């Protein structure tokens, strides 16, 4: 960390501990190899870049297990006037549709003599 602060090292790989409380200047890019556990942590991570009127770039890798938070991420990006990738919108829609399908199958399973699968 000291070498990064002195400018002798240009890349810093850190855990979530670096997203809060550390005062590191001139961060231009944040790469999230894994999506944070909650949206607040995401905001803190990407908030490391683009400070003091500067611009910054955040790149986040999202897997299927992260789809449940896609709608929240879209809301955060919209409030920040950022463009929303179509893939992210599709992830949010697929998650909602999957969740609805599972809820309907669960309800249908409770009814005697009814099909166990819900098709739409």
**Model confidence over 24-78: pLDDT tens digits?**
777 888 888 888 888 988 888 888 777 777 788 889 999 999 999 999 999 999 9
Same domain for 72 and 54: no
Task: Answer yes or no: do 50 and 70 share one domain.
Answer: no
Q: Are residues 15 and 53 in the same domain?
A: yes
| Domain residue limits at 73 | 64-100
Please state, in angstroms and rounded to a whole number, the distance separating the CA atoms of residues 28 and 25: 9
Q: What is the pTM of this model?
A: 0.73
Question: From CA 50, how far away is CA 59, in angstroms rounded?
Answer: 13
User: Looking at the 3D structure of the chain, how many domains does it have?
Assistant: 2
Tally of CB atoms within 10 A around 42: 21
Question: Do 38 and 75 sit in the same domain of this protein?
Answer: no
C-alpha to C-alpha distance for 34 and 52, rounded to whole angstroms: 26
């Amino acid at each position: 960390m000291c070498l990064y602060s002195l400018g002798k090292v240009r890349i810093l790989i850190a855990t979530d501990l670096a997203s809060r409380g550390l005062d590191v200047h001139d961060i231009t890019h944040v790469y999230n190899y894994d999506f944070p556990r909650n949206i607040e942590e995401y905001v803190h991570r990407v908030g490391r870049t683009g400070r003091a009127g500067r611009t910054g770039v955040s790149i986040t890798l999202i897997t299927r297990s992260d789809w449940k938070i896609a709608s929240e991420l879209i809301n955060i990006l919209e409030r920040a006037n950022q463009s929303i990738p179509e893939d992210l919108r599709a992830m949010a829609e697929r998650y909602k549709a999957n969740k609805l399908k599972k809820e309907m199958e669960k309800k249908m399973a409770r009814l005697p003599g009814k099909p166990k699968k819900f098709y739409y």
